Amino acid sequence: ELRETKQELAQFHKQLIAVESQKFLAAAEIINGVKVICRKLEKITRDQLRAYVDELRGKGGSVALLLAAVIDDKVALIAAVT
């Protein structure tokens, strides 16, 4: 039962990341044909931060992004360009 709940939670996070990523892409500033995204994310894990990057790189076309979060009282930054 706990295992099923964890799987459901993981699936929910995956769906949330997909929806939020679409919002980020829609609001992105476009510079020389490249979507630029800079965001601070709240209450996420390192794995979820990486999942955001994967989702944005996969669906964003030409995109430059910088995502930031505070995880375990430490600043986490991740940057990517496609």
Show Cβ contacts of residue 1 under 8 Å, excluding neighbours closer than 6 positions: none
**Could you read off the pLDDT of 12-48 as tens digits, one per residue?**
999 999 999 999 999 999 999 999 999 999 999 999 9
Q: Confirm whether pTM is higher than 0.85.
A: yes
Show Cβ contacts of residue 49 under 8 Å, excluding neighbours closer than 6 positions: 41, 67, 69, 71, 76, 78
Distance CA 53, CA 48 (A): 9
Per-residue pLDDT for 60 more than 90?
A: no
Task: State the pLDDT confidence band at 65, using cuts at 50, 70 and 90.
Answer: very high
Closest Cα partner for 51 from 19, 26, 74, 73? 19
Determine the length of the chain: 82
Q: Please, what is the end-to-end C-alpha distance for the chain in angstroms?
A: 40
